[in-house]
Structure 1
Amino acid sequence: MSGSVRTSLEEAMRRSRTAIVAARRTLEDDGRLPDGHDIVAFGSLARFELTPQSDLDWLVVTSEARSFDAAPLIETLRSQLVDGVTLSEPGSSRLFGETISVDDLVTPIGLQEDTNHTTTRRILFLEESVSLARPALHAQALRGVLDAYVKAKDGSDRIPRYLLNDIIRYWRTIAVDYQAKATQKNPKALRYLKLLIPRKLCYVASIAPLYLLHSGVAACDDPVDYLLDQYSTPALERLLDLLARIARDGDDTVKEKCERIAIAASRFIESSGSADWRAAIEADFRGDARKESADFGAMRTLGKQLHADLCGIFHAEPFDSFSREYMVI
């Protein structure tokens, strides 16, 4: 990975770590959060891709029966996590900004009661969440999610298909939901580019631990312990670790693909931190020449190249055997 790309990604990770430390210090000093409650952040902060334009997506996750109004604490956090910026509130879908129990994350999995909201919260908790108050409670809840998937494994496969299938299901769901939302009046260009680059990369980072388990790279006595360690690691770090492993064992063509994937991640994080860029891509999206435009068109082209590079990696060894066995049919 080139020095400039590494520096850009490291800056995003540093900004995210600093924000998480600040949030934990603020909540500890405040003292109003009851025992058995955690404030869990999602999105770019949890992926370690925080920018000044990020939302603060959050849930209160509790092991207690009583609820808690976290709104005053969240207002404080939104204004303190990035210098000189107040992070945006969660969207209007009511996916975030509420209190849920630990049990809500694992009951149910599948069938009619497993709605878009329950599936989304569970998979996002797995692949991109971070504790802002009580890491031990977060780890306990994450272990509960992983236990629910791993205990359903019948022992015939090296990896829990139940978990992999749900990660794939969620990725397909957000792809379908993008099209359903395309007719709404909300900004469309950013949602499209997020699907093309950071959400796709988060999906890759989410199956990376299962690929490493399948390939034998990760030797472990207890799969839950291994997966807990992996999914406690931010998505961006999991992605970069996977790319480093693939590049180390690959030829020059593979190394170039890995470099371009890292560049795509870096450029999106840099660009999405600019309010001017966000406004420009929405303006481009309404124009006739949007596919060739300087802002939206350039990022779309980067996303298309990213897709080609990921396909090149997934359909070649050593990844190909994993793709054929677990991800095609």
Structure 2
Amino acid sequence: MDYIRETRRFTTEKLAEIRDDIHRVLKKSKNNEKITIVATGSYGREEASSKSDIDHFIIYDADEAADDAIKVELEQIEAVIKQHVPERSGSTGTFGKDAVIQFSEMKTNIGGEYDDNKSLTRRMLFLLEGTWLYGEDRFERYQRSLLKRYMENSSEKAELPRFLLNDVIRYYRTIATDFEHKVFEDGKEWGLRSIKLRFSRKILYFGGILTIAEMADAGYRQWEERAIELFGIPVLSRIERLIDDRCGQEVLEIYDQFLAKISDPEIREALKRVEKEERTQSEEYQTLRQLSDDFSAKLSECLDIKYSADHSIHHALLF
């Protein structure tokens, strides 16, 4: 699994450099104890490369407007990130230098009228694949607090945290629906986005399901600690730890093939050019499309092998 090892090495080294430089520029700020920087995406999954962008957002816990109170700090943060990661993230406003929120926004209105795609995406990725760029202690405290929100109304008799599971399912289904909107109404590229949906988004979802199944096995009183432990491990390492048999190995081998192919500049560019109507004419797309079917089948097989037929996760995923 050469590409998993290589992207893991690259991500670890690059994150260390970014963290050091952000700490250096913010250490004299009077507001630095109010700032937490969260990274998600390929950097959160430990599968970044020199061609990756970095999805990030900032939690600023203060009453005053960030644009006024920490304008200089925001510019410093952006300069550090741009220096280390030249690729720009998407233009939806969910991530990037203008994505500044208060932590309270992540905990309130879950599933409510104002829980739009941006808030759902930030909240779910914060849990499922998030890591810190600045403010490690606050990041961990916020993660624990958000998990408590998902579990606080559960009965001690509950087999697993359904509020959390339902939001993980909702997020994954929302990604798939949102994909159709972005490519058909916003004119976004189709081929590469489609392949990423079939692999990186799918493995993220699977990692969330594994975590919740393990919470069920740990029991109600240990839900929080088991979730903190597992969400603190990047998803590929989480799968490696929890499914340490042939099936888990095969999942990672397939994912390694995916990483290898999208890391190839020629294949990546070919995928970017693929339109849905022409997908059957693209050898690059069709190869990865078939591989994604194998990937789905293997993930399903692993879930069935790992957890017996009467395990609560199977019923909860359906009803």
Question: TM-score, normalized by length of structure 1?
Answer: 0.86
C-alpha displacement of 1:166 = 0.6
1:266 corresponds in structure 2 to 256
Q: Is contact 2:243-2:306 (8 Å) kept?
A: no
C-alpha displacement of 1:219 = 6.7
Amino acid at match of 1:64: A
SS at match of 2:134: coil
Q: Which of residues 4, 7, 17 in structure 2 aligns to 1:22?
A: 17
Superposed, 1:145-184 pairs within 5 Å as 145-183=146-184, 184=186
Q: How far apart, in 1, do the equivalents of 2:179 and 2:276 lie?
A: 17
1:250 corresponds in structure 2 to none
Q: Is contact 2:199-2:255 (8 Å) kept?
A: yes
Superposed, 1:139-288 pairs within 5 Å as 139-183=140-184, 184-214=186-216, 216=217, 218=218, 221-244=221-244, 247=245, 255=246, 257-285=247-275, 288=278
Q: Which of residues 296, 300, 304 in structure 1 aligns to 2:285?
A: 296
C-alpha spacing 1:71/1:319, structure 2 compared with 1 (3 Å): farther
C-alpha spacing 1:297/1:71, structure 2 compared with 1 (3 Å): farther
Q: Which ranges in structure 1 are unaligned for 5 or more consecutive residues?
A: 81-85, 248-254
1:261-308 Cα deviation digits (max 9, x unpaired)? 2122112222323333221113344674x3463311111111011112
Superposed, 1:108-147 pairs within 5 Å as 108-147=109-148
Q: Which of residues 290, 308, 315 in structure 2 aligns to 1:325?
A: 315
Q: How far apart, in 2, do the equivalents of 1:14 and 1:38 lie?
A: 24
C-alpha spacing 1:268/1:45, structure 2 compared with 1 (3 Å): same
Q: Does 1:75 align with 2:64?
A: no
SS at match of 2:268: helix
1:61 corresponds in structure 2 to 59
2:46 corresponds in structure 1 to 48
1:35-70 Cα deviation digits (max 9, x unpaired)? 210111110001111112211111111222231342
C-alpha spacing 1:301/1:162, structure 2 compared with 1 (3 Å): same
How many residue pairs end up in the alignment? 306
Please identify which structure carries the higher helix content: 2
C-alpha displacement of 1:241 = 1.9
Q: Does 1:311 align with 2:313?
A: no
Q: How far apart, in 2, do the equivalents of 1:317 and 1:63 lie?
A: 41
Q: How far apart, in 2, do the equivalents of 1:16 and 1:317 lie?
A: 29
Question: TM-score, normalized by length of structure 2?
Answer: 0.88
Q: How far apart, in 2, do the equivalents of 1:294 and 1:243 lie?
A: 32
Could you list the runs of 4 or more consecutive aligned residues of structure 1 that deviate by over 6 angstroms after TM superposition? none
Q: Which ranges in structure 2 are unaligned for 5 or more consecutive residues?
A: none
C-alpha displacement of 1:315 = 4.3
1:120-147 Cα deviation digits (max 9, x unpaired)? 1111111111111110010111111101
SS at match of 2:290: helix
Q: How far apart, in 1, do the equivalents of 2:215 and 2:276 lie?
A: 45
Amino acid at match of 1:28: H
C-alpha spacing 1:317/1:17, structure 2 compared with 1 (3 Å): closer
Q: Is contact 1:182-1:188 (8 Å) kept?
A: yes
C-alpha spacing 1:155/1:52, structure 2 compared with 1 (3 Å): same
SS at match of 1:132: strand
C-alpha displacement of 1:20 = 1.4
Amino acid at match of 1:104: E
Q: Is contact 1:53-1:275 (8 Å) kept?
A: no
C-alpha displacement of 1:94 = 0.6
